[in-house]
Chain A
Amino acid sequence: GDSVTQTEGLVTLTKGLPVMLNCTYQTTYSPFLFWYVQHLNEAPKLLLKSSTDNKRTEHQGFYATLHKSSSSFHLQKSSVQLSDSALYFCALRTGGYKVVFGSGTRLLVSP
């Protein structure tokens, strides 16, 4: 069945450094990928969604590129801020009504 893998459970960084959070997926259908960010006691909020194959999408300094050849949609930012500390979830929607979430990556940014 469809699945999403986020390999890092916790990423700790000093502010100003670059970050990449990994997301790979498995599906036999045409994929739509999403990144959601969840701050403590808040709703998960959409951060990014995939466009066409090999096209980069950006929002609030974060960016990701869907690569169907490697089944990946890694999230990147060139310089993390303290306010970026949160849970990040990668999600796969294959059309229809099914949405599968990864296990999440907690990003902790220190001063």
Chain B
Amino acid sequence: NSKVIQTPRYLVKGQGQKAKMRCIPEKGHPVVFWYQQNKNNEFKFLINFQNQEVLQQIDMTEKRFSAECPSNSPCSLEIQSSEAGDSALYLCASSLGTGRGQNTLYFGAGTRLSVL
């Protein structure tokens, strides 16, 4: 079973509402990724962190999406004003690092967001 814990499993929001989801990475993993998996099962990278610092994020994330990974608290991804096109499975993944032997991503089961 996955050791990356994501909550909630399902989230239903109306257009314009905020949507917030959380992720507890695998213990000892300082690198956290968020991906959006659409209905065609394609992965879209959103943002990643090392400890509390943002490493990379895409333009979409910079505008309506916000994310953080505070110390001693779950990481979170929040959509400020949900749109129908945001309906997707949001996957969180963590890894030990980037070098050989540390660069495997371990995924949570995801939060399935439906925007009505």
Closest to B55 in A: A97
A49 at the binding interface (Cβ < 8 Å): yes
Question: A103 CA to B41 CA in the complex, in Å?
Answer: 7
Question: A44 CA to B91 CA in the complex, in Å?
Answer: 9
With an 8 Å Cβ cutoff, the count of chain A residues facing the other chain is: 25
Question: A38 CA to B89 CA in the complex, in Å?
Answer: 13
By a CB distance below 8 angstroms, the chain A residues around B35 are 101
**Residues B64-100 near A (CB distance < 8 A):** 91, 98-100
By a CB distance below 8 angstroms, the chain B residues around A46 are 104-106
By a CB distance below 8 angstroms, the chain A residues around B21 are none
A101: contacting residue among B31, B43, B55, CB under 8 A: B43
Contact of A43 with B43 at beta-carbon distance under 8 Å, contacts A96-B98, A97-B48, A98-B56 already known: no
By a CB distance below 8 angstroms, the chain B residues around A97 are 31, 48, 50, 55-56, 98
A63 at the binding interface (Cβ < 8 Å): no
Task: Tally the A-B contacts, defined by beta carbons under 8 Å.
Answer: 53
Contact of A89 with B43 in the complex, beta carbons under 8 Å: yes
Contact of B42 with A32 in the complex, beta carbons under 8 Å: no
Expressed in whole angstroms, the minimum distance between the Cβ of A98 and any Cβ of chain B is: 7
A15 at the binding interface (Cβ < 8 Å): no
Contact of A99 with B91 at beta-carbon distance under 8 Å, contacts A32-B103, A34-B104, A45-B107 already known: no
B25 at the binding interface (Cβ < 8 Å): no
By a CB distance below 8 angstroms, the chain B residues around A36 are 107
Return the CB mask of A17-57 against B: 1 if under 8 Å, else 0: 00000000000000010101010011111100100000000
A43: contacting residue among B4, B41, B45, B100, CB under 8 A: B4
Contact of A43 with B109 in the complex, beta carbons under 8 Å: yes
Interface of A toward B, CB cutoff 8 Å: 32, 34, 36, 38, 41-46, 49, 87, 89, 91, 93, 95-101, 103-104, 106
Closest 9 CB pairs of A and B: A101-B43, A43-B2, A43-B107, A43-B109, A44-B107, A104-B41, A97-B55, A93-B103, A97-B48
Interface of B toward A, CB cutoff 8 Å: 2, 4, 31, 33, 35, 40-43, 45, 48, 50, 55-56, 91, 98-100, 103-110
